Each structure stands twice: as C-alpha cells, then as structure tokens.
Structure 1
Amino acid sequence: MTLAAPKFLFVPVSSAEGVGEYMRSLIIADEVKRRWPNATIQFILSRQAPYALTCPYPAALLDDTPTKNIKAVNDFMSFFLPDFVIFDASGRRSQLVHANKLGAKVIFLSQHKRKRSRGMKVLRARVTDSHWVVQPEFVIGPINWLDRLKLKLIDKPEPTVTGPIFVNPNRDSQAALLKQYDLTAGGFILFNAGSGGHTNSHGYIVEEFARAAANIYRATQLPCVVVYGPNYPNAMPVVEGVTAIKELNHCELIDLLDAAKVAILSGGDTLLQAIALKIPTLAVAVAKDQNYRLKVCKENGLTVGSDNDARQMSGGLIELIKAENLGRLEAALAQCECINGLDIGMNIITDLYRKKFGVSQ
C-alpha cells in the first residue's frame, strides 16, 4: 500500500519582525515535496508577515500569529484534515490536541530552553509524536533528570537535537550567483542582520551593518555584500565597494555564506548555519532571544561578538581577519560537531510516514 498524496500543514510563528521559523518550515516543506512529489503542502501564516503573500505554497492568512488564533487554526485543521502538522515554535496545547484528535502526526520544533520545556509538559508531550530541538546541544544543553523521568513515564521519547536546519550549498548555483554579483569565492565579506526588520534607538539595525560594510571596504578593499532582508522597508544606498541586495531566498543565502571569507551576522539561525558550514563570523544580537545563543557560541570560541554599532563592528571585523585571530577561530570551527539537521528531521518524518500509513517507503 502506498499513499498518493500525504497532506502536510506547516504552522510556524509568523509576524512583522522575525523570519527564521517561516524559513525553516519552508526548507522542510521543500524537502518534503522533493521526497514526496505528490504531497499536498499548506501553510498557516499571519497576514502581517511580509512574506505572507509570497509563500510558494498555499497559505491560510490570519490576523495575528497562529498561536494567538486558537479557534481559527483548529477550524482550518478540521477543514484541511492534515496527515502531519509541523508547529515551529508555535501552537497552544489545545491546537496540538486538536491535531492529534484528527489523526495527524504532530511535530513540534523548539529553539531555546523555554520553548523546549513547554514542549515537554506532560499534556503537550502526550499528543506530540516528535519534538525537535533546532539548536546544537552545546547551546541548549541536555534536559534535566525530572523531564527525562516524566517522558519515560508517559512513554514518550526525549526531544531530538537536530541542530540548525538548512539546505546544503549547491556548487552550480553558487558559481552562477558569484558570477551574477561579480564576486570571488573566499574574496568577500557577507553582512546579514536577519529579516531586516529589527530596530534600535537609532533606527534599523541593518543600516548599522551597511555602515560597517562601507567602513570595512575603505579600510581593507575587500568587497562587501549586504543582504538587507525582506522586512527592511527603505531604499538601499549605493556605496563604493558594497553590493546591496534586498533579499535572497534561503538557498542563495546559504550559497553566498558558504563562499564568503568571513561574515557579520545576527545571532539568529544563520549564525548556527555559518558555524555548521565552518565560516568565521562576527555576530550581533539583534533580538533579545539571541543574547544567550551568542554568549554560548562566543564562550566556545565559535564566533566573535559585537554590539550593534557600525564602528564596533568595523573594528571587530578588521581585528578578526588578522591571520592569527582568523586561524584560531577556524581551528575551533573545525572541531565543532554542529552539522545540518535537515536529514535528521526528514528521517523522522519518513519514519512517522511509514508508521501512519503502514508502507515500507
């Protein structure tokens, strides 16, 4: 017996600011579609998110993030009748319960300790088929003995640490991208502040990244590339030595990141992807939930930190690319066991697929 068209529903956190959960869900959805071409894929998103109208899959749009629209999400699940529901850092317990009652396999993704703890609460864990932790274990640490005992008593597995989830670089598309922007592998610096929508008291933080890029080019003559992000609303300035890009899809961003000499990044998912790719970085926390991750990465010698000030970023990066400092960072990255967790997650989905439909492939 085989299933012609399994139905997947993705419910990521979505808002006017962050983009990480949506991008991760999109990566998984694309891989689902690659493995099961006949799969039906559906998203639920906030219409406030800038990407809501450009999602390549059908998307039901809500007035706010799905977690705050309990009834609307449950009503849509009753209508769509999914076989799998993937909640990425989202979902109330009642939404997970409803998905389970409809017979769906429920997958919950957490990215920090608070979310992980929420996912291990007994009433949520009972209706969750798989809980993925999309942080390396050196960042988030192991679960405690009490949570381990609770999960054992209700016969549920411990969360699976996948680490960051991303698409691996593609050499052909990377070469085309470098040619498009007149860049050489290993010969430029990449700047990305995440979605581009984060602000501080001076304005948009990505503008500080852009000013740092201009400073660094003047000091080093190394070409700089600034990816502003989909949530940045202003016109991009034209500056000598700095290539300004409004937005890249995930595959393109990974291809550029993999080809960069070094990168200045926010402390979000892209930082962990850079660590997995062994790319030296200077990292800046642009949101409160990035501070702890950045602190741990710095303590493990896997990145260099900076405040979100153009002068500090410029000085920090120029110091970083000195041979002795760069060599030390590259050596630490080479020893790090952080890898791409996409295959880990997809193996779990494949196993759940087999259990649900009783098929061998």
Structure 2
Amino acid sequence: MTLPRPKFLFVPVSSAEGMGEYMRSLIVANEVKQRWPDADIRFILSRHAPYAATCPYPAVLLDDTPTKNIKAVNDFMSFHLPDVVIFDASGRRSQLVHAKKLGAKVIFISQHKRKRSRGMKVLRARVTDSHWVVQPQFAIGDIGWLERLKLRLIDKAEPEIIGPIFVNPSETRQARLLEQYSLTKGGYILLNAGSGGHQNHNGYVVEVFAQAAVSIFATTAIPCVIVYGPSYPGEVYTSEGVTAITSLNHASMIDLLDASKMAILSGGDTLLQAIALKKQTLSIAVARDQFFRVKMCKEKGLTSSCQPNAQQITDSLVKMIDGHNSESLQVALANCSCKNGLDMGMSIMSDLLNEPLPLKS
C-alpha cells in the first residue's frame, strides 16, 4: 500500500513550562517530511506554550494541554482523519481509542517509568500499534514480569527502547554557527537548563547557570556559551567571556553541543543526546522527572552531577577540566551503546504504513 499523501498528527504534551515533548515531536515531524515530502503534518498544542505561535506546521491551538481537552482532540481527529497519530507522553485512553476507531495507526512515546507503565495498561496497549521508549536501557530498566505477561496475553509487543531522538550534527551548519558566534570548536563550555522556564525556591534555575558561566570564565578563562531557552521571561545578559543566546532551534543546539569542550546541562533530553554524542557533561536536575535520570546516568559513569548552585557548578566543572573524573567519563561514554533513535523510529513508521522507508530527500 502506498498512501498518496499520508497524514501525520502529532499530539505532544504542551504547556507554558517545558518543551521536551514538543521538540521531540518536531524532530520526528521534520524527519517524516524529509522521508515523505508530500506528507500532511499537523500538531495539536496548548495556545499557552511559548512555541505555539512558531510551530512550522499547521497547529490546532487549545486552551490547555491536549490530554485535558478530550473532546477537542477527538473532534479534530474525526474531521482530519489522520493515518498516523503520535501521542508524545500525552493522551487519554479515550483519545487513543478514538484514533484507532478512525483507522489511524497509534504511536505512544514515553520517556520515563511512570509514562511507560501508563502506556502498558491493558486498555491503552490494546489500541496502541507501537510504544516507543525514548530512553536508553540503562536509564529506565526492564519492564516487570507481570507487565510482560499482560502484554503477552493480549498479543501486544513490549515497548521498544529506541533511545533519545535528535538531529545528527552537521559539519556545514556547525561551521556557520561557530563563525556567527565567534567560537572555536572544542574551545568553549556550553550551558543550558532546558526550556528556561524551570524554577526553584531561588527563582529561575537558568539564572544560576548564568551566574556559573561568569564564574567559570573568571576561574578558567575558557569562554562560556549559555542558551537561556524560550520559556525564560527575563532579560538575557552578556558579560566578558560569556556568550548569551536567547534560544536556538534544535539542530543548532545539537551542533553547538557537539562542538563544545564540555557541557553543563539540565537532566532533560539534551543530557541523553549528549551521552549519545559521547560528550562529557555536568548535569543538574531542574525538574522532578529528571532526578532519577541524572542518578542513573551518574551511576553508569556517564555524567558528573551537582546541585543547582553557581559555586558548586563552577567547582565541579573545574575538577572535570583538571582531569578528575574526566578520563573515566570518557571511557564510559565510549563504551555506552546509547545512540540516536530517529532512524529506528522512521523504520517503525514505515512498517506501520506498510510501505518501504524512503531515503532522505
């Protein structure tokens, strides 16, 4: 079967704070567009999300995250009749059921144990054609024997661990980016606290990262680049030795990460992308769902970590630069099997559509 113009509908979790699910869906959508240039791609988003107005694809904007707008999402699916619906950490069971009744292939994406368990509940699993886990095996572990038995009884496959999803670095893009910001490959420290919207009792965590950038340059004379993120509402400040960037698209972020000497990151998706790129990192959990991920990555020797405190960040980074833990980090990263899961995701989509996977255009 060859669909003349396959319809893909992306329904990520979307809110005013985080943006990881949206960014992942956008990466997949862009890859779909390269593989199937005639594809009709749509999104359903919260209008309050900072990226809602800049989504490059037609988007239905709702007053809240799509998971809480059951009827609106179902009504649009009935109108649009998509061939594939991708629920990225989102969706009520009734929404998945409705998509399946309309004849769509249903993909559910989970990024931690709680979401994975939710996706394996019997009534949800029955209407899910493919469940992607966008974590490496070491960060999430195996499913339990009871969950495995339930899936077997309803003749459903176990979730597929495909790993983090990201755009691979490009030498051409990277060279242009380094020239734009007057940077040298391997000659700067990259700092990013995710979307920039995460707060603790002291305020926005990205402001602590910014303080650390100033301190790191003063201590080491190594230039720093901090990407604040689109959800940060404050002003962006530059200082001697610190390049401040309001936000970057995903491809540019990956290119800067790949070209950095080391990176100081939150415990979100970018940390796993850095590990797949074999980049040494200092990681700081800035949200509840990040503590376990940072802990597991640290236990495997794939990152160092510290608290969101400017002095602690500086001290920890200096130890890494001086060689403390650096050699063991590099060995662990070299031996880690974590890789980009984008190609695997495309192969699964091709199987669901029952047609060969087109090469990139």
Superposition TM-score, scaled by structure 2 size: 0.98
Structural mapping, 1:209-358, within 5 Å: 209-354=209-354
Shift of 1:145: 1.2
What letter corresponds to residue 29 of structure 1 in structure 2? A
CA deviation digits over 1:109-133, x for unaligned, max 9?
Answer: 0011111111011110010000000
2:28 maps to 28
Q: Percent identity?
A: 70
Shift of 1:104: 0.2
What letter corresponds to residue 111 of structure 2 in structure 1? Q
What letter corresponds to residue 79 of structure 1 in structure 2? F
Structural mapping, 1:1-361, within 5 Å: 2-354=2-354
Conserved? CA contact 2:19–2:195, under 8 Å: yes
What letter corresponds to residue 236 of structure 2 in structure 1? M
Shift of 1:324: 4.3
What letter corresponds to residue 238 of structure 1 in structure 2? T
CA deviation digits over 1:78-121, x for unaligned, max 9?
Answer: 11110000000000000000000000000000011111111011
Quote the RMSD (CA, aligned, Å): 1.0
Question: Partners of 2:162 and 2:48 in 1: how far apart?
Answer: 29
What letter corresponds to residue 187 of structure 1 in structure 2? G
What letter corresponds to residue 244 of structure 1 in structure 2? A
CA deviation digits over 1:171-226, x for unaligned, max 9?
Answer: 10001101111111111000000000011112111010000000000111101000
Question: Partners of 2:69 and 2:112 in 1: how far apart?
Answer: 23
Shift of 1:328: 1.6
Task: Classify the secondary structure of the residue corresponding to 2:53.
Answer: coil
Unaligned runs of 5+ in 2: none
Superposition TM-score, scaled by structure 1 size: 0.98
Question: Partners of 1:110 and 1:118 in 2: how far apart?
Answer: 9
Unaligned runs of 5+ in 1: none
Conserved? CA contact 2:350–2:357, under 8 Å: no
Shift of 1:327: 1.5
- Shift >2 Å, 4+ stretches: 358-361
Task: Classify the secondary structure of the residue corresponding to 2:14.
Answer: coil
What letter corresponds to residue 209 of structure 1 in structure 2? F
Shift of 1:238: 2.1
Shift of 1:2: 2.7
Shift of 1:38: 0.3
Shift of 1:155: 1.0
Shift of 1:20: 0.3
What letter corresponds to residue 213 of structure 2 in structure 1? A
CA deviation digits over 1:292-319, x for unaligned, max 9?
Answer: 0000111111101111111111111111
Question: Partners of 1:307 and 1:81 in 2: how far apart?
Answer: 47
What letter corresponds to residue 323 of structure 2 in structure 1? A
Task: Classify the secondary structure of the residue corresponding to 1:53.
Answer: helix
Question: Partners of 2:11 and 2:115 in 1: how far apart?
Answer: 15
Shift of 1:146: 1.2
Question: Partners of 2:357 and 2:272 in 1: how far apart?
Answer: 34
What letter corresponds to residue 319 of structure 1 in structure 2? K
Shift of 1:152: 1.1
Shift of 1:237: 1.2
Shift of 1:359: 7.0
What letter corresponds to residue 126 of structure 2 in structure 1? R
Conserved? CA contact 2:350–2:356, under 8 Å: no
Question: Partners of 2:333 and 2:180 in 1: how far apart?
Answer: 29
Figure out how many residues of one structure are paired with residues of the other and give that number.
358
What letter corresponds to residue 65 of structure 1 in structure 2? T
317-326 vs 103-112, which moves further:
317-326
What letter corresponds to residue 122 of structure 1 in structure 2? V
Q: 1:129 to 1:146 in 2, by over 3 A?
A: same
Question: Partners of 2:322 and 2:300 in 1: how far apart?
Answer: 20
Question: Partners of 2:80 and 2:40 in 1: how far apart?
Answer: 10
Question: Partners of 1:167 and 1:360 in 2: how far apart?
Answer: 18
